[in-house]
């Protein structure tokens, strides 16, 4: 519980500190973006060398233990493009089933575990140390503004904000509703911030 409150306070502080970066990502991210829409070759051409993937919402619906079948080919392509040990899973739930799945099916994909949960940037910093790759060449793919995207802002990596995450409301209606509400609240918070900022700018304009 103590850890939860520490993380909550850290999230609030960092959201305020990185509010401009978060707003930019929120405003510039395509609506209804799913992981399968990401063209990995394009990222490689833009200088990305390391791919870091969240799990829930990004590779499958919430609490699934394996990525969607439809993403198998995409993951294989990711490994071919970025190379073994340059593709990571950074989830706040790196359980043993998920770790074993990747060990068995995608050996070049490393699952980060034993670090503080996002938005702490510990996982991303560990990836920077493992790969010796500058943060600017690392891409974090995440569906949560105030966890994964915020961690990417703190670590100064690139980010792909998944605005249309995978869900399965039929299988887990309560969990999916809870996480949808969290995502909705994050977006509303950013929307409010952007509106207030716009208003402030137009008022300044009027005074001048």
- Would you count residue 94 as binding Mg ion (CB under 5 A)? no
How wide is the angle at C-alpha 91 spanned by C-alphas 85 and 97, nearest 5°? 80
Which is nearer to Mg ion, 82 or 143 (by Cβ)? 143
What is the dihedral angle through the alpha carbons of 158, 163, 165, 168, rounded to the nearest 10 degrees? 160
Residue list 53-82, contact with Mg ion (CB under 5 A): 54, 56-57
Which C-beta is closer to Mg ion: that of 44 or that of 122? 122
User: CA neighbours within 13 Å on the CB side: how many for 1?
Assistant: 0
If the CB atoms of residues 8 and 201 are measured against Mg ion, the closer one turns out to be 8
Q: Which part of the chain contacts Mg ion (CB under 5 A), choosing from 11-19, 34-42, 140-148, 198-206? A: 140-148
Q: At its nearest, how many Å lie between Mg ion and the CB of residue 83?
A: 25
Scanning 32-40, 49-57, 66-74, 104-112 for contacts with Mg ion by CB under 5 A, the matching segment is: 49-57
Residues 6+ away with beta carbon under 8 Å from 155: 121, 124, 125, 128, 135, 138, 140
Which among 18-26, 47-55, 152-160, 198-206 is the span making contact with Mg ion, rule CB under 5 A? 47-55
Residues 143, 149, 154, 157: which binds Mg ion (CB under 5 A)? 143
Beta-carbon count within 10 A of 201 CB: 10
Pair 83, 108: CB distance under 8 Å: yes
> Smaller CB distance to Mg ion: residue 46 or 91?
91
């Amino acid at each position: 519980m103590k850890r939860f409150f520490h993380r909550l306070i850290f999230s609030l502080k960092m959201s305020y500190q990185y509010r401009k970066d978060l707003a930019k990502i929120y405003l510039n991210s395509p609506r209804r973006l799913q992981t399968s829409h990401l063209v990995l070759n394009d990222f490689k051409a833009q200088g990305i060398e390391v791919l870091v993937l969240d799990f829930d919402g990004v590779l499958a619906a919430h609490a699934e233990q394996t990525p969607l079948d439809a993403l198998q080919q995409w993951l294989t392509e990711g490994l071919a493009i970025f190379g073994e040990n340059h593709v990571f899973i950074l989830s706040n739930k790196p359980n043993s089933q998920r770790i074993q799945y990747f060990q068995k099916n995608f050996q070049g994909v490393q699952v980060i575990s034993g670090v503080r949960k996002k938005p702490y940037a510990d996982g991303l910093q560990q990836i920077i140390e493992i790969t010796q790759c500058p943060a600017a060449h690392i891409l974090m793919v995440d569906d949560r503004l105030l966890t994964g995207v915020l961690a990417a802002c703190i670590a100064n990596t690139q980010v792909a904000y998944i605005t249309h995450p995978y869900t399965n409301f039929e299988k887990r209606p309560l969990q999916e509703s809870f996480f949808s509400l969290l995502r909705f609240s994050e977006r509303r918070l950013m929307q409010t911030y952007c509106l207030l900022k716009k208003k402030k700018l137009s008022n300044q304009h009027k005074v001048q």
